[in-house]
Amino acid sequence: MSNYRSGIWAGAVIFLLALFLFVLSLQYSYSSVLGPGPGFFPTWLSGILMLLAIWYIYDSVKGKNASSESWPTGRSLKHILFIIISLVLFVILFSLFGFLLAGVIFLAMLFYKEYKWYTTLLMSVGITVFIYWMFNTILKVYLPLGGILF
């Protein structure tokens, strides 16, 4: 498939996804007594995504999105697959053991190639605990501690 047509197809798929999300966002109230309601951000974000998809399709027709690489290969493909597998593992561990353990393992998997083991462990635990604290204390969105363990 030529780069011309693949750009149009990619833009069309993104546009349809954004349109679907836009329609779903209309089910929520746009504003509330305190300001923006639950439908405010989804409506704007999906609308902006639709505009960007149209812009991408336009650039594809003009030939501005042509790329010599059609699909990642070799080392790039391995990195992408590793991240996808890590995300799937995070979702599984999150449902079984909660946010803290899943977060530490997920971040450790992403950091282990770049840092020494003690730096990886310290950053993974520190970032996960900070995010957990921020969500529970400041945002009042309670993340589960554990499914099976607690």
**21 close to 49: Cβ distance less than 8 angstroms:** yes
49 C-beta neighbours (distance < 10 Å), count: 17
The closest alpha carbon to 107, from 95, 88, 120, belongs to 120
- Give me the residues of the chain with pLDDT under 70, please: 1-4, 65-70, 147-150
pLDDT of residue 113: 86
pLDDT of residue 119: 93
Rg of the chain over CA atoms, in angstroms?
A: 21
Phi and psi at residue 149, in whole multiples of 5°?
Answer: -70, -40
pLDDT of residue 1: 47
pLDDT of residue 66: 62
**93 close to 104: Cβ distance less than 8 angstroms:** no
